Amino acid sequence: MLEIGHYVAAPFCTRLLADLGAEVLKIEPPGGDPVREWGEQIDGNSLWWSIHGRNKKSIALDLKKPRARELVLALVASCDALVENFRPGQLTKLGLDEHSLRSARPDLVIAHISGYGQDGPYRERPAFGVIGEAMGGLRYLTNHPPEQSSLPPVRVSVSIGDSIAGLYCAFGVMAALWRRRAAEESDSRGQSLDVALTESVLSMMEGMLPEYGALGKIKQPTGGAIATAAPSNVYPTLDHKWVLIAANSDPLFEKLTWLMGHPELAASPQYCSNQVRVQNAPMLDALISQWSAQFTEPQLLALLTARKIPNATAYTAADCAADVQYRFRRMVREVEDPILGRMLHSGIVPHFPDMPGEVRWTGPKVGQHTSEVLQELLGLSGEQIEALRRDGVI
Amino acid sequence: MLEIGHYVAAPFCTRLLADLGAEVLKIEPPGGDPVREWGEQIDGNSLWWSIHGRNKKSIALDLKKPRARELVLALVASCDALVENFRPGQLTKLGLDEHSLRSARPDLVIAHISGYGQDGPYRERPAFGVIGEAMGGLRYLTNHPPEQSSLPPVRVSVSIGDSIAGLYCAFGVMAALWRRRAAEESDSRGQSLDVALTESVLSMMEGMLPEYGALGKIKQPTGGAIATAAPSNVYPTLDHKWVLIAANSDPLFEKLTWLMGHPELAASPQYCSNQVRVQNAPMLDALISQWSAQFTEPQLLALLTARKIPNATAYTAADCAADVQYRFRRMVREVEDPILGRMLHSGIVPHFPDMPGEVRWTGPKVGQHTSEVLQELLGLSGEQIEALRRDGVI
């Protein structure tokens, strides 16, 4: 599997594939993927990169040199798939159009990720994750209702548009490989796929489009609540945590009112059914918040759990790191990074009990595997590799 | 492909597979998947369901009847994969444990989705999408910084934890099918996979865990901004829209200051580099907001686009529906629903130009395909089907 990618979406895609055992060769410019400079660093080494680049081999190539193009095509010959996320048309400018790639490997699966897709009026526009989230409809909805706040909508703090697109791409690559094999000799041509950040986000929007189309309803933000079920929100605790309580069925709500010492609420005309609870959710949430704020987080969780009312703390990084379930399932695990030392990684999703995979290595240095791969895969000699290095190709 | 699922995660997974052409049989109780009651309805018909159930066949079965279990196992024999999202252990109680399923189909891929995973101390706990989002670290971060607001963190308005888990599951199913075929005769046993909502969300959290592990840094919410780049946020317009502006490089920021009529800002000590811009982001965002609010959305977009400053409106449902790029690529398309009439659907992601797939049919009625499937796949006669109906099995 070849990655000619940068930043988040394509590298996230290939990391998922690498986590499941694929051999992923990442082509980087000699200066490295700029994502290596993102987030917290220790001595110039990115902590995020340790995850983002893990289980991949890094090959440094200056794609502006013609010899680099030949090397890419030679590598493509041994690959099942290529994943890229440059501006549409960029690979063609580098002589790596689909026709050239398929001349090197006729059944290559070629996966493109871009902001808006490979065609259409917006294809040339620059795009980032935030733009995908905005035009996919996510940003507008991630907000308090206007009657509660005039603050702008918020970002979820990570490039979720990029990651969702990367995940769609990983799904698409496997689907294309399955189809290729299912077709066997009959049609060995590899397929191309075209993933857009905007479309990946829009595809998550549930009934938003049909409800607009049929009823003219423009879906509106609901803060921490759910538009169709109440109470379901996060509530404050004495020790300044937020605890999610999902008591949005009549029996669960009744249990909650007992805990709150106000069983009469369950029968009151404002709160006696989900329908009226939704209408009066801001008032109900205020009541629950007054009650929850009397307890510390552990006290509140214990009360709710004893009554089997679904609950969860809005976890911080520290909470995730300490969680016994994540530790049990190795979703939070310690790995050894040769530069950064012992560190925390998230685990492998999805989990295959019989083949759980492993963090075989953490994010490599730029070009760490260049010589190894050119030697082993392409049979280049030490001298040839040295010459490429002198010429600034690798 | 068999789905024994309900609500969001498993049905979302199988819808993605069905969109790419898989034959998906959805087993529902005779009362229907409760998700059919979610969201806006027309005469009791859910608009969301039209998308959520599309391209699948609905088979109504009362799984509490022993005869229903036999029918499921008979259907499994003709399926490559099964996707389910009941509480862990629930299928086993119904006599549909992995051993029984594999007796019917030795190489069956079995995909489980649950809140916390199939093992570990939390496996029995109830979970919804909101709980996955809370414990995955997403909810805490989807907030304004505490110095800007004491409002609780917000939900992104859709069950994103469920959908991300469903997407991971679709990826995992295709990976398992690919592995099964790659192994060919040598190991025809199907694999199981185990997707947790919490883990699916946590896997999106980028450098959050390693940064906490190495530096003790607890990632904090940043409202609409990005913690490491400024300016990047949404800004208000005269006509009450939010427009995202990503001018977070020195050249882009300089262009923006010219547009704002304050080129001196680009050289000022508070804003002359990304580092200081990030430190002073709230002040900078306030300045940009004052400026942006003088223009209508179309005026602001035109100004920014002319200077090639990346921008996007935070789209509402109406904006998505009207967007020319979405229409060009059929990511927003009109489909005919036999009950609901002509309506808007989101398109198919990922896009395969040579095999774009189609909305072959919209979400079916409960049990719409029961007779057809029992007849065609299992060879049951009309009389046998009638008897099953009399006995309340179907």
**Residue closest to A321 by CA, chosen among B206, B209, B216, B138:** B209
Pairs of residues, one from chain A and one from chain B, whose beta carbons lie less than 8 Å apart: 485
pLDDT tier at A189, thresholds 50, 70, 90: confident
At residue B111, the 3 state secondary structure works out as strand
Question: What confidence tens digit (pLDDT) does each residue in A302-326 have?
Answer: 999 999 999 999 999 999 999 999 9
Catalytic residue among B162, B239, B250, B354: B162
A102-to-A91, A189, B311 alpha-carbon distances in Å: 13, 8, 35
Domains for chain B: give ranges and CATH numbers. 2-203+327-390 (3.40.50.10540), 232-236+242-313 (3.30.1540.10)
Tell me if A226 and B349 make a contact (CB, 8 A cut-off): no
Q: Predicted ipTM?
A: 0.98
Question: What confidence tens digit (pLDDT) does each residue in A200-232 have?
Answer: 999 999 999 999 999 999 999 999 999 989 999
- Which chain B residues touch A155 with a CB distance below 8 Å? 142, 222-226
Closest-CA distance of chain A to residue B67, Å:
31
* Spatial separation of the C-alpha atoms in residues A230 and A276, rounded to whole Å: 9
Which of B45, B156, B340 would best serve as a mutation to test chain A binding (most A beta carbons within 10 A)? B156
Pairing between β-strand A109-114 and β-strand A81-84 as defined by DSSP bridges: parallel
Closest-CA distance of chain A to residue B181, Å:
8
Extract the residue ranges of chain B whose pLDDT is less than 70.
184-188
pLDDT exceeds cutoff 90 at A67: yes
Cβ neighbours for A272, distance < 8 A, ≥ 6 positions apart: A266
Nearest to A42 among B158, B214, B347 (CB): B214
- Which chain B residues touch A320 with a CB distance below 8 Å? 135-137, 202, 205, 208-209, 212
Closest-CA distance of chain B to residue A79, Å:
15
Q: Once rounded to an integer, what is the mean pLDDT over residues A148-167?
A: 96
Q: Once rounded to an integer, what is the mean pLDDT over residues A15-23?
A: 98
- Which chain B residues touch A40 with a CB distance below 8 Å? 207, 211, 214-215, 217
* Spatial separation of the C-alpha atoms in residues A116 and A199, rounded to whole Å: 7
Which of B208, B300, B309, B327 would best serve as a mutation to test chain A binding (most A beta carbons within 10 A)? B208
**Residue closest to A44 by CA, chosen among A61, A56, A32:** A32
pLDDT exceeds cutoff 90 at A139: yes
Cβ neighbours for A126, distance < 8 A, ≥ 6 positions apart: A87, A115, B308, B310
Tell me if B130 and A223 make a contact (CB, 8 A cut-off): no
Question: What confidence tens digit (pLDDT) does each residue in B291-302 have?
Answer: 999 999 999 999
Closest-CA distance of chain A to residue B202, Å:
7
Cβ neighbours for B313, distance < 8 A, ≥ 6 positions apart: A134, A135, B241, B242, B243, B244, B297, B301, B319
pLDDT exceeds cutoff 90 at A375: yes
Catalytic residues of A: 162
Residue with tokens 């799984």: B63
Cis preceding-peptide flag for B126 (omega within 30 of 0): no
Angle, nearest 10°, between helix axes B160-183 and B9-19?
A: 50
DSSP tag of B127: -
Phi, psi at residue A248, to the nearest 5°?
A: -95, 45
- Which chain B residues touch A244 with a CB distance below 8 Å? 130-131, 134, 139
* Spatial separation of the C-alpha atoms in residues B20 and B355, rounded to whole Å: 8
Tell me if B219 and A157 make a contact (CB, 8 A cut-off): yes
Nearest to A346 among B127, B134, B209 (CB): B209
Q: Closest-CA residue in chain A for B211?
A: A47
Tell me if B212 and A344 make a contact (CB, 8 A cut-off): yes
pLDDT exceeds cutoff 90 at A128: no
